[in-house]
Amino acid sequence: MNFKSTVSRIFFAVSILASTNIFPFAVNYYISSNKPASAQTVESDNEKLFYIYKGQRIPLTQQKDAIAVEFKPLPKTRTRGSSPDPLYLQLEKDLQTGTRTRGGGNPQIQVKPLGKNYALVTLTSNQNFDIKKKIQNQSYVKTSLPILSRADSQDTIVLPNEIIVKFEANISDRNKESILKQKNLEVIRPLRFFPNIYIVKSTVASGTDILNVSSKLDGVKGITSAVPNFLQSVSSFINIEEQNSEGSNDDLSTQSITKTTTNVTDSGKTETDYLGLQWHLNSTPLKECLPQKINGFNALQNCLKQQTTENSSSSSSSKSSSKSNLKSKSSSKSNSSRTDLHVTEAWKNSNGGKGVVVAVIDSLIQWNHPDLRNSLYKVEATDKCPGEIYGWDFSQPSTSKKPCEVGDSDTSISPLELNALKRKLHDTFKLSDRELIRRYLTPKIRQQIRFRPSEQKLAQYLRRKIRSEVGGEFHGTLVSGVIAAKPESSQNQNSQGQDSQGIWGVAPNAKILPVRVFGLNGSISPSSYIEAVGYAANRGADVINLSLGKTLPTDVEEFALSQVLQQNPKLVIVASSGNSNYTQVAYPSGYSGILSVGASNLFGDRAYYSNHGKGLDVVAPGGDLSTSAGWLGGIPTTGGTWMDKFWKGLAFPNSRWSPTIDFKGKYWWMQGTSFSSPAVAGVVALMKGEDTDGKLNREQLVNILKSTASYDNLKISEPDKKSYRNVVNKGLIPSSVTEKQFFFGSGLVNADAAVRAVKK
C-alpha cells in the first residue's frame, strides 16, 4: 500500500441530539476524570464488555433482541437519481414472509433504517436463529453486526469491522504499513483534513472481537490512539411525543386557543408573520398576550402583531433595506420579566451578522427552504469537489480513498430517504388504530409505556411519536433556522420595511454552511464527525454549531477538537449541553475550549431536560413544550415536511398534526438544548459581525458573552434547589458554586449587551 498517496488531513469530534442530542439533539453520557484518555474494551471471565475513556471503564452489553444489517453498496444513481424502495423496506418484506403471528395483533418483525447502508432488525426470542439465517440469505445483505448499548442506557451502538487509528505525527509511511501488517489490519481509507488518522479493518476478527483488537492497539509504539468506529443511532434528539402524553398535542396552550386552531383569519387569509411567536428573540409580545382571553391561533397572531407594533422603534432611513428591515422589527419596550436573548435590540445596533459564516454540523439540512435558501454560504476553496457549492454530506460510509468520493455535495433529502419518511408519515394518517399498533409497536416501545392505555390512546401515542420522528429527521433544517433564517418576502422590501412572512434567525444576515453527519434514524459515526468538523474549519467557518450528543466520548475526538481550535484561534465552537437532566454537560460541549449551552424556558426556569453543573458556560431559550404555554413555549423554526412531494397521495392536512405552526410543517415549535445552542451561535455571529477588523479571538469573544450574561428573571424550582443541596452535601461540587451558577452557568445570554461590548 502507498501511504503517501492516501494521506489527507482530518479532524474529529463525536456527539448529537439531538438524536439529540440529534441530533435533541439528545441523551448524553458523561465521564469525569483528569487521567490521560484511552479507548479500549476488555472481555472478562463473565464476558462483560466495556471500553475505557480517561481511565474509567464504561460497561457495554450486547443486545439479544436486535441485530444490525449492513447492505451491499448501492450505485449512486439509485440513491439520488430515482425513487426506488429503500433496502430496509425490502428486507422487512422478505423477513415478514411466513412470520405473521396468529390474530395479527402482535407486531411483526421491525426493520428500521440506519442511514442508507445499515438497518436495525428487532427480534423475538423464538425467532433469533431463523431470522439471522434468513437475513444472511438475502442477496443484497453484506453482513450482520452486533448491537451494543451502555449498561446505564438503551442507546444503540453498532460495531462494524472498523477502527480509527491515529499515528504519531512523525512516523514514516513505511512504519505505519509495518505496524498494521503485524496486527493483521488493512487500511480502508485515510480521513480528510487531518494527517495520520485512518480507518482500518481487521483481516482476522469480527463481531465483538473488534473491541479487543482496538484495545490491543492502544499503547502500541507509533500509535497514539485507537477506537472502534462505532455507528450509533441517536434518534431521540427530538422527544416531542413525550410531552403532554396524557393530553392532545393539538393544544397550543391551556387556554381557549385550542378550540379554533384549524381556523383561518376572518378574511380567509392565513396569518404568517411569526415574529411575535419567536419569544426567544423578544418575549414581551407573547407574555403580554398569554394572559388575555384569546380565541384561536389567528386571534393570538393579531394580538402578537399589535404588541410588536406598539413597542417597535422606527427604522433609520439612512440604513440599508436589509438592516432597516431588521430595525423595523425591533422592540424597545423593556419588561422586568423578559426571559429572551434581547435579539431585537441587538439588531438595532448591529448588521445582523453580515459577513459571518456559521457551519451547521447536523442531520438533513433542507437548504432550499424559502427562509434558508438566501442565507447559504457559497463555498470558495481551491480544492472544491465537483458539485460542491453549499456544503457537504459526510453521513454515508465510504471505502474510497479519493476525498471527493467520500460523501456528496447535497445535504438535503434524497429520493430513498423521502420514500422512507413519506411511508411513515402517510401510515399515521391512513392506517387504522389496530393496524398502526401491529406495524409499529415494538417490544422496546411497549416497555417505555408505564400505563395500560386503550387501543385508541396507544395509537394516538404512536402517531405523535412517528410524526415527531419524521419531523426530527430534519434536525439540521430546524437548527439552521434558529441561526440565520430570513423570510423570503423580506429580501425585496423597501427601506421603510413591511410585514414579512416566515421565521427570523438570531443572525439573519449571517450565512449558513450546511455540513451533514447524520443519516436516517440519527445514525452517526466518529469518522464522519471528524471529517465534518475538519471540513467546516477548512472551508472558513467563523462559528461551528454542534447540536449533538449521546455519542461515546473518545480521546480521538478530544484531540481533534483541541487541534482545530489551536489552529483556528478565532473560531468559536458552540455545543448543546445535552437533554438528559444530568449534573454535568455532555460531550462534545464538555471538552475544553467548547462553549457549552444549556436551555431555559419562557418563564425563566431551567428547561427540565437541560444538562447543567460542571462544564456549563451559559444558557439560552431552548423551549419547553410541557409548560402551561404548551406548544407556544417551544422555539419556532424552519421545518422540512412542507414539500409537496411529502404529501403526494395524501389529503392536504387541515389541522396541526404535530407541533407544526402551519398545517404542512414549513415551521415547527421545538424544544431542546439543540435549539439553545444555535441561538447562542447566532449571538456569536452578531458579535463577530461587529468585529469587522477581526481583532477579537475566541477567548475574548467568549469572555464578553459570559460577562454580559445575567441571572435576571431566571428562577430555580424547588426540586432543583433540593438537587443542588444533595450534590453539595455529597461533596460533588464545592459550596462556593452557587445555585444559579450550577444550573445556569454565567447566566442567560444577552445579545444586545454582548454586541454593545464588542463595539466598544
Cα dihedral sign for 248, 249, 254, 257? negative
Coil/strand/helix, residue 642 = coil
Amino acid, single-letter form, for residue 226 = A
Give the pLDDT confidence score for residue 610 in this predicted structure: 96
Other CB atoms closer than 10 Å to residue 470's CB: what's the count?
22
Quick check: 225 and 556 in contact, CB under 8 A?
yes
Tens of pLDDT, residues 111-131: 888 988 899 998 766 666 678
Residue 551 has pLDDT above 70, yes or no: no
Name 44's Cβ contacts closer than 8 Å, sequence gap at least 6: none
> Does a cis peptide bond (omega within 30 degrees of 0) precede residue 588?
yes
Instruction: Specify the DSSP element, H or E, that contains 284.
Output: helix 284-289
Q: What is the mean pLDDT of residues 700-708?
A: 98
3-class DSSP state for residue 373? coil
Greatest mean pLDDT among 130-139, 321-330, 404-413: 404-413
d(CA 500, CA 471): 24
Integer Cα distance of 678 and 634 in angstroms: 14
* pLDDT tens-digit readout, 722-737: 999 999 999 999 989 9
Helix, strand, or coil here: 753? helix
pLDDT above 80: residue 340: yes
pLDDT at residue 329, as a whole number? 54
Would you call 459 helix, strand, or coil by DSSP?
helix
N- to C-terminal Cα separation, the chain: 57
What pLDDT was estimated at residue 131? 83
Q: How confident is the model over 506-540, as pLDDT tens digits?
A: 999 999 999 999 999 999 999 999 999 999 999 99
Q: Where are the alpha helices (DSSP H) in 518-554?
A: 526-538
Cα 515 to Cα 360: distance, rounded to the nearest angstrom: 6
Q: pLDDT value at position 236? A: 47
Q: Locate 564 and state its grid cell.
A: 482545530
HEC letters along 160-183:
CCCEEEEECCCCCHHHHHHHHHHC
DSSP-assigned letter for residue 664? S
CB of 199 closer than 8 Å to CB of 189: yes
The percent of residues in the chain predicted with pLDDT above 70, rounded, is 80
Q: Beta 572-576 vs 595-600: how paired, if at all? A: parallel
- Which 8-state DSSP code applies to residue 66? E
Residue 661 clears pLDDT 80, i.e. is over it:
yes
The number of beta carbons lying within 10 Å of the beta carbon of residue 266 is 10
pLDDT tens profile 666-697: 999 999 999 999 999 999 999 999 999 999 99
- Name residue, grid cell 435579539: 343
Q: Are 155 and 27 in contact, with CB atoms under 8 Å apart?
A: yes
Radius of gyration of the chain (CA): 25
Predicted pLDDT at 728: 95
- Residues 6 or more apart whose Cβ sits within 8 Å of residue 214: 39, 40, 41, 51, 163, 226, 227, 228
Distance CA 329, CA 190 (A): 49
pLDDT of residue 26: 36
DSSP conformational letter for 268: S
pLDDT at 550: 62
Q: Residues 355, 484: contact at Cβ < 8 Å?
A: no
E strand or H helix that includes residue 147: strand 147-150
pLDDT reported for residue 101: 43
Q: pTM (2 decimals)?
A: 0.87
Choice among 54-58, 246-250, 540-544 with the minimum mean pLDDT: 246-250
CA distance 617 to 620: 10
**Residue 631 main-chain phi, psi, to 5 deg:** -60, -30
Instruction: Look up residue 569 and give its amino acid.
Output: P
> Of residues 416 and 388, which shows the higher confidence score?
388
